[in-house]
Amino acid sequence: MDVNSIDSMDFEDLDVLEAYRRSNIPRNRVNPFDLNDDEFRYKYRFNKRFGLKIIDLIRDDLAYDTRGQALSPELQVVCAIRNWARHEIQDDTGDLHGVSQSVISKTCKKIASILAHMSQRYIKMPTTLDEQEESMRKFRSIANFPKIIGVIDCTHIQIKKIRADGGLLYINRKGFPSINVQVVCDADLKIMDIVTRWRGSVHDSRIFRECRLKQRFEAGAFSGLLLGDSGYPCTPYLFTPLLNPQTEAEQRYNRSHIRTRNTIERCFGLWKQRFRCLLRGLYGDIETARKTIVACAVLHNIAIDMKEDLFPGERHVHTENNIPVQPYVANPIRGNIRRRQFIETYFS
């Protein structure tokens, strides 16, 4: 039977095909790095140079059994990248590389765990004064909004339905299960801070209220400010837009705020275009889903450093699930006073 001729198969043929896919018959494997650059990028959505960089980065952490049909580090990395970038059925990824679906699943889980473990090397806030001033300069060049070192927002990553106790707490306001992921990005769209431990029903403001980054700002670790939408409280270190701007200075502040804060929307769009699994949903267990999100953030930052482009015609459009923002009404007095002084100083 020609296993590639599926259109004319009946159900019996499909059963035979499934048995073939799950058999232990050795399958042909090719080295993906023997492909030319265009073919490699078409299959894996990244350039060879990027793939080799990731392989070199984690090679020492990949156990490679030379016996039997074990996957080489090269195949392990490209299988994971293809599966996340294309959001491909694991069976199809396995067939392409001559392995079973279970091997692809284990490989993706292992690569995600390794990359998540080294996330602090690639996901970090600017700490030195020079780094913070450089971040402020780049943000100010967008819409003349001064003293900004990062933009914050949350995005919902869909997961499979949780049937255990507490599963309903993962259902967000749009009615599907998700992890509410908090991200802070810089003006280059790199992810500087990420929190993935919260369920979809949790409000953005609570995630920030209980995160370590808030504690660092309150301890004076940073000289700059964050920008957030109206779902966050306005504080002396996190500025939100004015809900009812009255004066010309307030309107200028809001216009500049919107254009600058749009950076986080572009970050989400680029991140999810690179890794379609974030756009369409993760269907492993919760812990693996969290590690995969962080792993994709690490890869996203490395891709920006290496100036990896999207395919021609793809745009950095944020395809969020249009979950409405619940405005944070009771803003702290100190935050409102600080914002008022800021507007009078820089926008009057």
Dump pLDDT digits (tens) for 22-56: 444 445 677 888 889 889 998 899 999 999 999 99
Among the listed residues 49, 297, 320, 309, the one whose alpha carbon sits nearest the alpha carbon of residue 190 = 297
| Predicted pLDDT at 11 | 42
CA distance 52 to 48: 6
Among the listed residues 129, 130, 126, 128, the one whose alpha carbon sits nearest the alpha carbon of residue 149 = 126
Question: Which whole-number Å values give the CA distances from 49 to 76, 164, 182, 199, in the listed order?
Answer: 16, 43, 30, 36
* Mean pLDDT value across residues 154-174: 87
Report the 10 Å Cβ neighbour count for 66: 6
Question: 């015609």: which residue's tokens?
Answer: 313
Dump pLDDT digits (tens) for 112-136: 999 999 999 999 999 999 999 999 9
- Which has more pLDDT, 314 or 344? 344
Mean pLDDT score of the chain, rounded to an integer? Answer: 86
| Predicted pLDDT at 314 | 59
CA distance 71 to 53: 18
| Predicted pLDDT at 89 | 86
| Predicted pLDDT at 318 | 53
The pLDDT of residue 192 is above 90: yes
| Predicted pLDDT at 174 | 87
Specify the pTM: 0.87
**Percentage of residues in the chain with pLDDT exceeding 90?**
65
The pLDDT of residue 79 is above 70: yes
Report the 10 Å Cβ neighbour count for 53: 18
